Amino acid sequence: MFFLPSAQAIDLTKLHFVKLSPESNISALDCTEDNGADPLGLQEFILKEALTYQAERIGVTYLVLHEKTIVVFLTVSMNCLSLEELQQQEMIPEIKVRHPALLLGRLVVDKRFRNLGIGTYLCQWVIGLARYLSELVGSRYVALHTLPDRSGFYKGELLNFTESSQPRPDKKKLLYRKITSDS
């Protein structure tokens, strides 16, 4: 069996992925904070907006199940990073266009399944998805926006995201992770 270091209760290799559909039963999914608040509107999004995003091709949402319980939802879409958003060392000689990226728009673990290593595992899945897709459609990064106090999770050695120094109009930080390899 395959476990990440912090995982205790769930065999991550047995997670099951399904695309959100009108038939998906998401009523039991709880994306709120420990105190029941929904400051980022994540519960609102999955219950009321995700299907519209998907129908309009703004974002595709996947539900991740453990046995028959939905433990995570995540939403991905195409995106790009401007050269100003990237560190100087990311610049490619002679290429001055924006760099394509897969946007991890949302990744939310049900509150009953947090701190089990699922979020890290699913970020790795998204990076793997981006690498797979980049063989079909040009893409060089995985990008995401998150609150400053949560950026450390993505910047750690397991995920290796870099924080952009480019200021944003909201309170969130832009993080990106290059997905190319030379092998």
Partner 1 sequence: MLPEAIEPLKGKAATEFIEYDRRQLTEAEKDSLKKADAVYARHKVAP
Please identify, using beta-carbon distances, which residue of 35 and 181 lies nearer to partner 1. 181
- Whether the CB-CB separation of 162 and 179 falls below 8 Å is answered with no
Please identify, using beta-carbon distances, which residue of 34 and 157 lies nearer to partner 1. 157
Please choose, from the candidates 86, 87, 153, the residue with its C-alpha nearest in 3D space to the C-alpha of residue 123: 153
Q: How many helices (H) and strands (E) does the chain have?
A: 4, 7
Instruction: Give residues 127-146 in contact with partner 1 (rule: CB under 8 A).
Output: 127-129, 131-132
Residue 78 Cβ, how far from partner 1 at the closest point, in Å? 15
CA 34 to chain centre: 21
Residue 17 Cβ, how far from partner 1 at the closest point, in Å? 5
Residue type, position 21, single letter? S
Binding mask 10-49 for partner 1 (x = CB under 8 A): ---x-xxx-x------------------------------
Applying CB under 8 A, does 158 fall inside the site for partner 1?
A: yes
Please identify, using beta-carbon distances, which residue of 131 and 172 lies nearer to partner 1. 131
Q: At residue 163, what are phi and psi to the nearest 5 degrees?
A: -90, 130
Query: Helix-strand-coil percent breakdown of the chain, rounded to 5?
Result: 25, 30, 45
Residues in the chain: 183
Please identify, using beta-carbon distances, which residue of 40 and 51 lies nearer to partner 1. 51
Contact residues: partner 1, CB under 8 A: 13, 15-17, 19, 62, 89-90, 92-94, 121, 124-125, 127-129, 131-132, 157-160, 178-183
